[in-house]
Amino acid sequence: MKNEEMDLIDIEVQLFLEGIYLRYGYDFRNYSRAHIKRRVNNRLGLSGLNNLSELQHLVLTDEKFFQSILKDFSINVTEMFRDPEFFAFLRKDIIPVLKSYPKLNIWHAGCSTGEEVYSMAILLKEEGLYDRCQIYATDFNADVLKEAKEGIYPLDVVKEYTSNFIRAGGKESFSEYYVAKYDSIILNHSLKANIIFAEHNLVTDQVFNQMHLIICRNVLIYFNNELQSKVFDLFSNSLRPRGFMCLGTKESIKGNDSSDTFETYESNLKVYRKTR
């Protein structure tokens, strides 16, 4: 009986995701089932609904309510200079390679509220590369992109962000890059000069051409193997020959069809390089 109940739940979740895709065009059908179920159960609790059928009816008939589901399914856990050792490695080992190009294109895929994008902008400024860079910061969630464009974050994160910045090899004082106002920090407008924020869905949208570096960290852990393969192909087609791809520390190309397309550049930090 228990297996039959589990099968029924899986069927209901699949129908729920199919309905979202047909109604709104957002495709979550190949997201990790564990992630989807956690977010659905959380939304059921918050909404006071009895079951997934009631939730599905409300999502399909109320576009405003669907926006809350969209936020639920987004992955918005981030911080400035998250995993400082990764940014230290970028500065020490990848930036010297990128300096050989007259112009650089960088893609932050799944940028969420923008903290890691601005971290990259600061790093590039300190290494004298920012003026010849174009950074594309994308996410499928319009609400988090709006926050990213504003570049305003709570004041109480400053201590943590400053610590991350120092551990990542920051050269200036972190306070040089923001002003404090009331209970927030506002990042310097100059950091936004070469950043384009845009909606882009890794599941359904097309390539970005001629990227030198793609950063997509802690997003693919929420995708199943089939969808991960699709995204790796997207990244491969978006990268220049010998371009870099950076994943989260719990993500890997191992066991994926794209493992022949990329070679491992730094195994612990999950940095890869296109083979040709």
| C-alpha distance from residue 4 to each of 9, 44, 50, 76 (Å) | 9, 22, 20, 34
Whether 128 and 232 map to the same domain: the answer is: yes
Grouping H, G, I as helix, E, B as strand and the rest as coil, residue 13 is: helix
Instruction: Pull the structure tokens for residue 146.
Output: 């709006």
Are 115 and 79 in contact by the 8 Å Cβ rule? The answer is yes
Grouping H, G, I as helix, E, B as strand and the rest as coil, residue 185 is: strand
Whether 45 and 177 map to the same domain: the answer is: no
Residue 40 to residue 34: CA distance in whole angstroms: 10
Whether 146 and 220 map to the same domain: the answer is: yes
Average pLDDT in the 45-55 region? 87
pLDDT for 42 equals 85
**Chosen domain end from 73, 103, 133:** 73
Strand partners for 246: 215, 271
Whether 178 and 115 map to the same domain: the answer is: yes
- Is 78 part of a structural domain of the chain? no
User: The tokens 């009631």 sit on which residue?
Assistant: 54
Whether 134 and 257 map to the same domain: the answer is: yes
Question: What's the domain count of the chain?
Answer: 2
- Tens-place pLDDT, residues 258-274: 667 899 999 999 999 99
The answer to whether residue 39 scores a pLDDT higher than 90 is no
Tell me which residue range forms the domain holding 158. 84-274
- Tens-place pLDDT, residues 1-38: 455 555 777 888 889 888 988 888 888 888 878 888 88
Residue 61 to residue 81: CA distance in whole angstroms: 40
Whether 192 and 224 map to the same domain: the answer is: yes
- Tens-place pLDDT, residues 176-209: 999 999 899 999 999 999 999 999 999 888 888 8
pLDDT for 1 equals 41
- Is 79 part of a structural domain of the chain? no
Whether 128 and 187 map to the same domain: the answer is: yes
Instruction: Pull the structure tokens for residue 216.
Output: 């997509």
Indicate the burial class of 51 (C-beta count within 10 angstroms; 0-12, 13-18, 19 or more). Answer: exposed
Whether 9 and 100 map to the same domain: the answer is: no
Are 271 and 98 in contact by the 8 Å Cβ rule? The answer is no
Strands 133-139 and 195-199: parallel
Whether 174 and 241 map to the same domain: the answer is: yes
Instruction: Pull the structure tokens for residue 33.
Output: 């089932």
Residue 74 to residue 90: CA distance in whole angstroms: 26
Whether 187 and 69 map to the same domain: the answer is: no
Whether 38 and 144 map to the same domain: the answer is: no
Whether 69 and 167 map to the same domain: the answer is: no
User: Looking at residue 40, which CATH number applies to its domain?
Assistant: 1.10.155
Q: What is the pTM of this model?
A: 0.83
Residue 60 to residue 22: CA distance in whole angstroms: 10
